[in-house]
Structure 1
Amino acid sequence: MANQQIILSLLSQLRDYLSKMKSLEPQVTSWKTFEKDWEKEWQIDRGLQLLIECSIDIGKEIITGLEIKKPTTYQEVFIILRQTGVVSEDTSKKMQDLAVFRNELVHDYLYLDREKIYNVFKNDLKYFERYLLEIGGFLKKIKPC
C-alpha cells in the first residue's frame, strides 16, 4: 500500500487525539460538570470533531490504497471499509453514526443538543479504540510497498 506512511501518521494523530480526550474524562464526571464548564464543552466538541475527521481520513487513505470504489459520503467510507473486511460490522455502523454526528457538529451546531455531545464523549470513545485496533490488524495483514 503506497500510502501506508500517511496512514501510520494519521493513526498516530488519532491515538494522540484519543489520549487527550480520555484525559478530560476525570474532569467531566457528570452532565452537570459538563453543562457548567463551557471551556470543557468546547474542548470536547472540537476533540470529537478531530477524532471523527481523522478516522474518516484514515479510511479514505486505505480505500485509495486499495484502489477500490471511492466513497461519496463520510458514512460510505465506513461502509466500504466493512465491505472490504478492514473493520467489523459493529465498528462500521458506529463510525457511520459518528460521521453523521460530525456533520451535526459542523453544520447544525446551533440546534445540536449539548447533552448529545456529552453522551458521545462519555459512551463512544471506545469505538475509536476499536477502530484503531481493527485498522492496525488490517495493516499487519498487508505488505508495505
Structure 2
Amino acid sequence: MSLSESDIERIVTAVETMEASLAVLADKQALSAADYRSDPETRDVVERRFVKLTEAALDIAKTLAVDERDERPKSNPAAMIVLGDADIIDETTTQKMAEAARFRNVLAHTYGGAINHEEVYEALGDLERYRDFLIAVRTHLSERGVLE
C-alpha cells in the first residue's frame, strides 16, 4: 500500500499535536506530586494534554496500520501492536504505547474523583515512550521516502 497525500497530512498534523502536547507536559514535570495534586487546573491541563497526545499517536498508528494491513485495527492498543508487528516501533515502545492507549481510554471516560491522580502524575514522568514513538515513526517515514 501507499500513503495518500491526505494520510501524510494527517500524520504531520498529528506529529505537530504530539510535539505541542509534549512541550506542555514536559513543562509540568517540574511540579512536585503535592503541587500537582493540590492544583485542579493543572491536573485538568495535564489530563487533557495526555488525551490529545495519545489520540494523536493513535491517529498516526491507525493510519500506518491501515497502510500496513489494509484494515482498521479493532482497538486502540491493537493499533500499536500492528506497528510493533510491522517493526515500525520496537517491542518496548509497542508495549508502552499500548498501555498509553489504555490510559487514554481511562482519562477520556473518567472524571472528577474517579481519576487516579497518582497514576497521571507517574505518567507525567514517563514522556519518553511518546518521544520514542515519534522517533520511530519519523524513521519509518523517512526510510519510505515519505519525509524529506
TM-score, structure 2 normalization: 0.88
Deviation at 1:102, TM superposition (A): 0.9
Cross-structure match for 2:116: 113
Q: 2:26 aligns with which of 22, 25, 29?
A: 22
Helix, strand or coil for the counterpart of 1:116?
Answer: helix
Deviation at 1:5, TM superposition (A): 2.4
Alignment gaps of 5+ in structure 2: none
Identity of aligned residues (%): 22
Q: Is the contact between residue 68 and residue 86 of structure 2 (CA under 8 Å) also seen in structure 1?
A: no
Alignment gaps of 5+ in structure 1: none
Shift >4 Å, 4+ stretches:
none
Cross-structure match for 1:84: 86
Q: Is the contact between residue 66 and residue 73 of structure 2 (CA under 8 Å) also seen in structure 1?
A: no
Q: Which amino acid aligns with 2:44?
A: W
TM-score, structure 1 normalization: 0.90
CA distance in 1, matches of 2:23, 2:115: 25
- Cα shift readout 1:57-90 (whole Å, capped 9, x = no counterpart): 0111112333533201000000001011111110
Q: Is the contact between residue 14 and residue 56 of structure 2 (CA under 8 Å) also seen in structure 1?
A: yes
Select between 108-117 and 124-133 the one with higher mean Cα deviation: 108-117
Kindly indicate whether residue 136 of structure 2 is the aligned counterpart of residue 134 of structure 1.
yes
Computed over aligned residues only, the root mean square deviation of the Cα atoms, in angstroms, reads 1.4
Q: Report how many residues are paired.
A: 141
